[in-house]
Structure 1
């Protein structure tokens, strides 16, 4: 009841602020760095509480997230007024957060209706091919969708092998992260860039060489490592196979068409500019974006209606992961408001020292710094808000970033997407894949053990990328 009353009170406060919101805006140069505390606190909570207090986090992460959001919104409203605060909240939640969540819901729903029945023998060649196809698929179904679709068949293929931890680790590297770098559908940071004005095909053109380079190295390393472990088992007594090899068949194939429809809906909003829009409480709502979001919700509803129930049951589909993401990102988007405003202020804002790290003495951007700073934060916080932070630090103007500063935007995009693989908490699918693997009996590395894998394998690859591309 208290939760319901608090939500109603927040809604009433927000609605009451609407008449005042039309001409309100935040000047980031006037904000103190103290306003970044709720954002940093929320991200640190996401990073540490699942490890330090898992039961507390599991049962109360929504309340903790709401607490950090209120720690920003209430004092901000008292100091800057309900009108300014209401305008910023509406702009962020309606024009940025809502489209972001709607796309994730559509991808999550459609991918959850596709089930690959049957089983293959987990040989080095089969496993490498599986990872390669998953890496390509991730850019079009999203890293979450591809991970949830493929991790169970991959585990079934290897369930009679003694050494399979490395299979899941490389799956996280490639399918859950690096594979999502080619389109805005692939990973949340790139979709946020698309919402900010980065064209749909820009990422394909500029990140394809980096993705091909890193994926080729990682797939080769995986094949050699997997062959080593595979041959070690040849002279040992075979383990019983709980899922004998059988012919593969795809169920829920209607969802493949629906995935294409999602791509079409996103492309439509990026190419169709009818020039029709509405002013709502000082916000400009464009027709193409409303149509896109409506189509995405309709596609998700069609997937639920047309997919046989056995497909979702076989995939253990449920709304828990999506609800968790929706709650966490609502808090992240809200607490990011003052941080983004201060970054937009550049050298006049509270983060002037950070601006100085990313530019040389002439003011030109240092692309290696953008790559590694974006990647370092994406490794331990969350790659979507990190992308926005550095997108705005680089100026926040999509036209300029896509042309004159294309290498800088490439560095930001690659750092956010690729280095989300450096830890379990860098990208949402990482922990989901780990949990499913452990549920199936795979011994996974600890938090720091996994970081050891990434330091040994990923960091050298990223150093080579820096030398070759930045």
Structure 2
């Protein structure tokens, strides 16, 4: 194993260095002279994330952290060898301290606080009831994140339909609406939007610019669900009755102490966006602004308060476990490291090795092709994690938040909706998808296979996205 790693490292150093012997520029990595081979660790890691849980789940479950560490090392060590320790250290720390740390702190807090909110009791899963639960979950997704909303709402949704012979479609549409589409309205909703917020996109930009796209796409998907669920519900009326394993009972929400804590998280983020004291601390050449430090400290404190004040039986009833957030933390640390050289190449634009990709999303006049951005961002987000995919195309569009929020607002909208909406196309497009799938299977729902699920998304989502692309991003 060690000899194989040494061989791979040596090959990567040799190949990446071909034609790039120039020394690193003083202000960062020389993206103009870096070859596409620098993207191999990023590609390899994403392929492992996509295939591991499906093709070698036992190995992946026990060793995903080691996979992540190896790919991160294959990105960093050649960088040090080629461009020196100071430049490489600053490039990696810039990403980890300014983006990854705040990103994982927010996910940790939302995961922890939402995990302490228990929706108890049960109601009968009629088409009207199910539609109402999906709407509530979708709205909740932009407040507590798609992961938080999925954790809170999936078990009540399953309980409401556990006496129905046809119930897998309920979970499928739950993934569509609650685990993905509903998270498009704030940076809290979905990881790619929070990455955009960390890059300088205003907190309420997504709310004011994506509400119509979210309303139309979500409305179409919900209408399809209501029609299908009504048809199946009528068909079930003539079938033998199934004894309800969870009889209807009064709905009660436990752990309400976590609601003000969630409000505190939102307040901390809004404060960091408006309060600019102009004070910064430098760590290895990376400036850490005071408002961001305060925000992250407050968010961590709120998560710890949630752990202290929430009764343990509520978390137990929710099936709360640290395993999902631990996996996200390890994998995303490696993702953010491996994407460093890719970002450097993208910043080189037409002078970089990714110039063909730049041309693909640009019109003959050099202006961004919004429809291409929508489908390319969404297509990759269907199979790769949508947060790094968003970041790649954000940089491809120039990476300047002020320009993207104004002159290129349509391009940023295309990137944002593509990353968030099309994460629903597969089980691996967004982190909550596979979590919901696993919970549903554990509770006895006969969920479709990986490709069976893609038949559902292909029949429902792709036509919806074709219409949305034509309406909002077509010429």
What TM-score comes out, normalization by structure 1 length?
0.95
C-alpha deviation, 1:50, in angstroms? 1.6
Please give the residue correspondences for 1:362-401 in structure 2 after superposition, counting only pairs within 5 Å.
362-401=365-404
The 2-side partners of 1:136 and 1:310 are apart by 26
The 2-side partners of 1:280 and 1:330 are apart by 18
Corresponding residue to 1:72 among 69, 72, 75: 75
Does residue 228 of structure 1 match 2:244?
no
The 1-side partners of 2:141 and 2:266 are apart by 13
Q: Any idea what the Cα deviations from partners look like across 1:157-197, whole Å, max 9, x if unmatched?
A: 11100000100000000000000000000000000000000
Q: Any idea what the Cα deviations from partners look like across 1:252-284, whole Å, max 9, x if unmatched?
A: 001111111111011111111111112222111
Conservation of the 8 A alpha-carbon contact between 1:115 and 1:314: yes
Q: Would you say how many aligned residue pairs link Structure 1 and Structure 2?
A: 451
Structure 1 residue aligned with 2:107? 104
Structure 1 residue aligned with 2:55? 52
Does residue 458 of structure 1 match 2:457?
no
Structure 2 residue aligned with 1:218? 221
Structure 2 residue aligned with 1:442? 445
Instruction: Give the match's secondary structure for 2:116.
Output: coil
The 2-side partners of 1:223 and 1:454 are apart by 16
Structure 1 residue aligned with 2:258? 255
Conservation of the 8 A alpha-carbon contact between 1:100 and 1:192: yes
Please give the residue correspondences for 1:110-149 in structure 2 after superposition, counting only pairs within 5 Å.
110-149=113-152
Structure 1 residue aligned with 2:405? 402
Structure 2: unaligned runs, 5 residues or longer: 3-23
RMSD across aligned positions (CA): 1.2
Conservation of the 8 A alpha-carbon contact between 1:110 and 1:303: yes
Conservation of the 8 A alpha-carbon contact between 1:22 and 1:87: no
Conservation of the 8 A alpha-carbon contact between 1:62 and 1:327: yes
Structure 1 residue aligned with 2:361? 358
Does residue 192 of structure 1 match 2:195?
yes
Structure 2 residue aligned with 1:428? 431
Structure 1: unaligned runs, 5 residues or longer: 3-20
The 1-side partners of 2:138 and 2:361 are apart by 31
Conservation of the 8 A alpha-carbon contact between 1:22 and 1:281: no
- Structure 1 segments of 4 or more deviating over 4 A? 21-24
The 2-side partners of 1:240 and 1:153 are apart by 17
The 2-side partners of 1:186 and 1:212 are apart by 15
The 2-side partners of 1:257 and 1:127 are apart by 27
Please give the residue correspondences for 1:166-315 in structure 2 after superposition, counting only pairs within 5 Å.
166-315=169-318
C-alpha deviation, 1:24, in angstroms? 5.0
The 2-side partners of 1:444 and 1:331 are apart by 31
The 1-side partners of 2:265 and 2:282 are apart by 27
The 1-side partners of 2:282 and 2:147 are apart by 34
C-alpha deviation, 1:234, in angstroms? 0.8
Residues 438/327 of structure 1: CA separation in 2 closer, same or farther (3 Å cut):
same
Does residue 332 of structure 1 match 2:355?
no
- The farther-off stretch of 454-463 and 84-93 is 84-93
The 2-side partners of 1:461 and 1:354 are apart by 26
Q: Any idea what the Cα deviations from partners look like across 1:95-153, whole Å, max 9, x if unmatched?
A: 11000000000000000000011000001100000001100110000000000110001
The 1-side partners of 2:30 and 2:402 are apart by 23
Please give the residue correspondences for 1:339-354 in structure 2 after superposition, counting only pairs within 5 Å.
339-354=342-357
Instruction: Give the match's secondary structure for 2:151.
Output: helix
Does residue 414 of structure 1 match 2:417?
yes
Does residue 25 of structure 1 match 2:22?
no
Instruction: Give the match's secondary structure for 2:454.
Output: helix
